[in-house]
A and B are shown apart, each in its own frame.
Chain A
Amino acid sequence: MTIDGWTCPIPLRNQPNVVMGHGGGGMLSAELIEHLFLPAFGGTRLADMADAALLDLPQGRVAFSTDSFVVRPLFFPGGNIGELAINGTVNDLAMRGAKPLYMSVGFILEEGLPLSDLGMIAESMAAAAKQADVEIVTGDTKVVDRGHGDGIYINTTGVGTVPAGIDIGPSRVTPGDVIIVSGTIGDHGIAIMSVREGLGFEADAVSDTAPLNAMVADLVEADLDVHALRDPTRGGLAATLNELAASSGTGIVIDQDAVPVRRVVAAACEILGLDPMYVANEGKLVAFVPEEHAEEALSVIRSETYGGEAAIIGKVVGEHPGMVVATTPLGTTRVVDMQVGEQLPRIC
């Protein structure tokens, strides 16, 4: 990626910032597409500039997913809103076992956003799309008055295809399944908090934003009968496990000490009074695998670029349906509930 050295190919009418006209459909809009988005995203389908993209899909079921991205600050340690928007939708598709193929990108820009920021964001979206091997085929840009947005909001929608015979979904979670998490938890949330106004601290904490489709493809290929996959984003690991327990009508037991947490993340959570299980991730997955395939699934995940620190953290049980329970180092248990709202730093 060449973010540091990025320069706008043509200074857009010498305007350094986004103005209302960039979303107006006139010359400014056209220039933005031609000189900023097209050079970044490339691709013949996008360059057609037609009202809709025509897609060639291989045989099989189509997976379809959408997500909108709002994050402050736009640039944070380890990434920016652009790669988050690409990786987020890539990962949502991958969690059904799909191979992500095409993506749309919708921008809501706030008047006054520096075009150099937009350029850097577009560039890193392009790089993320390339890494995940997806093509950005259509897009849209609107501009809102200054003060009516946080610089930029991005929506991405993606389609992919699911190979025949693959059925990965929450309803297949059954008692006996072993639960694997693909790496350390809480990295993204703590990276964001480290640069938030009022909380700032110096830490070697970076977001884990990453595409997980290669990992999922290898799991699918290994024929391990993976029952369910989830990426524990907002609400963290705790929310994901609770959702799965509720939707499958099973109980979940995890070993608190087995959940991998980076030292700086653990330390930040101590100071702020947070629980890493509730802190967001952007490049992790949780896999539910039949016990007989668990070790093999773990070694597949560990061999991946983004899975080196994967661990088995617990299992699915028939007892206490809908509830997630953690065993503590003292051998006791506690309920890991869903957060009611956003986790806030506490003093007590």
Chain B
Amino acid sequence: MKYLDEFRDPEVALRLIEEIKELATRRWVLMEVCGGQTHSIIRNGIDQLLPDAVEMVHGPGCPVCVTPLETIDKALAIAARDDVIFCSFGDMLRVPGSDEDLFQVKGGGGDIRVVYSPLDAVAIAKDNPDKEVVFFGIGFETTAPANAMAVYQASQDGLENFSMLVSHVLVPPAMCAILDSPHNRVQAFLAAGHVCSVMGYEEYYAICQKYKTPIVVTGFEPLDLLQGIKAAVIQLEDGKAEVHNAYQRAVRPEGNLPAREMIADVFAVTDRTWRGIGMIPVSGWKLSDRYRELDASVRFSVEGIQSKESELCHAGEVLQGTLKPDECPAFGKECTPRTPLGALMVSSEGACAAYFHSGRFARAVAL
């Protein structure tokens, strides 16, 4: 595929690895913020090629993993209603709530539909005027323009049977929360390329300056990742902390202005609880007051739900990079991809699931 395959060239990738090996004179800890980047690193085995001097810590950038348990429980309660068609991205269906997941609700009779785009949910609402159609509006900044447009169009069309359960999360506050942690080990960030396609990277200058931490805007293909890692290592070796754009073909400094305008109209900043991490101030978006009547959590009065996280799950420490997945006492025992205790074991980007698979291999080879 054009503009993908070129950035997977193994020969160039291996040369970049050699360059990184030569550049790194001491141990550096880098965090790729985005789960898509984690997925690509694991899938391509880039972690196996990097020198020991460069340690990649997997960040909290998997929207499925960090969507708060309470919100998932709300989604389950709404989805179980007879009068509701519940629409979601495929990623969310197997994420465990307190007692069950969306698949189980579907098995119990809930009308749950996987959609590719939030606009598909708006179309379903138009086609089913006698049903309430609820879209599970999760995601980082990248997904927000799409979700915002669905809200805007439903509102413009006067669709009274459409609403959205919103749980948007924002990257920069999470990066600050990680850097503020007394246990923080991260020395440089690979910022999430597609988040920056939407939001730009101007707000990273202040973070970079405050924490003296290099931030490299990075893409998703092997060459993009290696280019980002290399740029970060060069800064670390030189004692610099700058914002650098290593994903120029997709990211402009100001991001996508029409998209940001729409987001500003539809969403408002709010405090948000991140599953496994806890509350991070001003780290999320909710529907703005203008669109309050489209808020599914208001429409279905699911405020009083009691959620209970597994006590065995240490996903929070893993998300913050202070615990490796296989150091968790439940890892591979109570918690496996078949019986996940936390979302990190579910998502294909989740660090625990990724470790489970590659760890199984390492053990088998050792035998």
Let me know if chains A and B touch directly in the complex, using CB atoms closer than 8 Å. yes
Q: Are A332 and B44 in contact (CB under 8 A)?
A: yes
Tell me if B35 is interfacial: C-beta within 8 Å of chain A.
yes
Tell me if A52 is interfacial: C-beta within 8 Å of chain B.
no
Per DSSP, chain A at the interface is loop
Q: Mark A278-313, 1 if CB is under 8 A from B, else 0.
A: 000000000000000000000000000000000000
A347 proximity list for chain B (CB < 8 A): 63, 89-91, 139, 143
Q: Mark A312-336, 1 if CB is under 8 A from B, else 0.
A: 0000000111110100111111110
A328 proximity list for chain B (CB < 8 A): 43-45
Supposing A198-B115, A328-B44, A332-B49 touch, asked if A251 and B364 sit within 8 A by C-beta, the answer is: yes
B43-83 at interface with A (beta carbon < 8 Å) = 43-46, 48-49, 62-64
Q: Are B48 and A332 in contact (CB under 8 A)?
A: yes
Q: Are B357 and A335 in contact (CB under 8 A)?
A: yes
A266 to B, closest residue via Cβ: B1
B64 proximity list for chain A (CB < 8 A): 348
Q: Are B113 and A198 in contact (CB under 8 A)?
A: yes
Nearest CB of A to B74, in Å: 20
Nearest CB of A to B67, in Å: 11
Q: Are B361 and A333 in contact (CB under 8 A)?
A: yes
Tell me if A267 is interfacial: C-beta within 8 Å of chain B.
yes
Q: Are B337 and A340 in contact (CB under 8 A)?
A: yes
Complex Cα–Cα for A333 and B357 (A): 11
Q: Are B357 and A337 in contact (CB under 8 A)?
A: yes
B141-161 at interface with A (beta carbon < 8 Å) = 143
Tell me if B36 is interfacial: C-beta within 8 Å of chain A.
yes
Q: Are A348 and B35 in contact (CB under 8 A)?
A: yes
Residues of B at the A interface (CB closer than 8 Å) are 1, 4, 8, 10, 13-14, 35-36, 42-46, 48-49, 62-64, 89-91, 93-94, 103, 113-116, 120, 139, 143, 222, 337-338, 347-349, 357-358, 360-361, 364-365, 367
B35 to A, closest residue via Cβ: A348
With beta carbons under 8 angstroms apart, the residue of A266, A325, A329, A348 that contacts B91 is A348
Tell me if A270 is interfacial: C-beta within 8 Å of chain B.
yes
Per DSSP, chain B at the interface is helix
With beta carbons under 8 angstroms apart, the residue of B14, B89, B337, B361 that contacts A330 is B14
| Chain A-chain B contacts (Cβ-Cβ < 8 Å), number | 95
Supposing A270-B1, A270-B4 touch, asked if A335 and B361 sit within 8 A by C-beta, the answer is: yes
Complex Cα–Cα for A274 and B91 (A): 11
Tell me if A11 is interfacial: C-beta within 8 Å of chain B.
no
Supposing A267-B1, A345-B114, A346-B348 touch, asked if A334 and B45 sit within 8 A by C-beta, the answer is: yes
Q: Which residue, of B90, B113, B120, B365, has the highest number of chain A Cβ atoms within 10 A?
A: B90
Q: Are B365 and A319 in contact (CB under 8 A)?
A: yes
Q: Which residue, of A199, A323, A330, has the highest number of chain B Cβ atoms within 10 A?
A: A330
Q: Are B62 and A348 in contact (CB under 8 A)?
A: yes
B14 to A, closest residue via Cβ: A330
Complex Cα–Cα for A330 and B311 (A): 40
Complex Cα–Cα for A330 and B139 (A): 31
Complex Cα–Cα for A335 and B363 (A): 12
B89 proximity list for chain A (CB < 8 A): 345-347
Closest 4 CB pairs of A and B: A332-B45, A344-B90, A320-B364, A335-B357
B338 to A, closest residue via Cβ: A340
Nearest CB of A to B238, in Å: 28
A272 to B, closest residue via Cβ: B116
Complex Cα–Cα for A332 and B365 (A): 14
B4 to A, closest residue via Cβ: A270
B91 proximity list for chain A (CB < 8 A): 344, 346-348
Nearest CB of A to B236, in Å: 24
Complex Cα–Cα for A322 and B365 (A): 12
Supposing A266-B1, A328-B45, A347-B143 touch, asked if A323 and B349 sit within 8 A by C-beta, the answer is: no
B366 to A, closest residue via Cβ: A320
Nearest CB of B to A176, in Å: 18
Tell me if A341 is interfacial: C-beta within 8 Å of chain B.
yes
Nearest CB of A to B338, in Å: 6
* Additional pairs, 10, CB under 8 Å, beyond known A198-B116, A319-B364: A323-B360, A329-B44, A331-B45, A333-B48, A337-B357, A346-B89, A346-B91, A347-B90, A347-B91, A348-B349
B49 proximity list for chain A (CB < 8 A): 330-332
A330 proximity list for chain B (CB < 8 A): 10, 13-14, 44-46, 49, 222
Complex Cα–Cα for A332 and B348 (A): 19
Complex Cα–Cα for A331 and B10 (A): 9
Q: Are A320 and B361 in contact (CB under 8 A)?
A: yes
B359 to A, closest residue via Cβ: A335
Q: Mark A178-212, 1 if CB is under 8 A from B, else 0.
A: 00000000000000000000110000000000000
Q: Are A344 and B46 in contact (CB under 8 A)?
A: no
A199 proximity list for chain B (CB < 8 A): 116
Supposing A198-B120, A319-B364, A340-B337 touch, asked if A345 and B90 sit within 8 A by C-beta, the answer is: yes
Nearest CB of B to A56, in Å: 46
B43 proximity list for chain A (CB < 8 A): 328, 334
A239-272 at interface with B (beta carbon < 8 Å) = 251, 266-267, 270, 272
Q: Are B116 and A333 in contact (CB under 8 A)?
A: no
What are 24 pairs between A and B in contact, CB < 8 Å? Answer: A198-B114, A198-B116, A199-B116, A270-B1, A325-B361, A329-B8, A330-B13, A330-B14, A330-B46, A330-B49, A330-B222, A332-B45, A334-B43, A334-B44, A334-B357, A335-B361, A337-B357, A345-B90, A345-B116, A346-B90, A346-B91, A347-B139, A348-B35, A348-B347
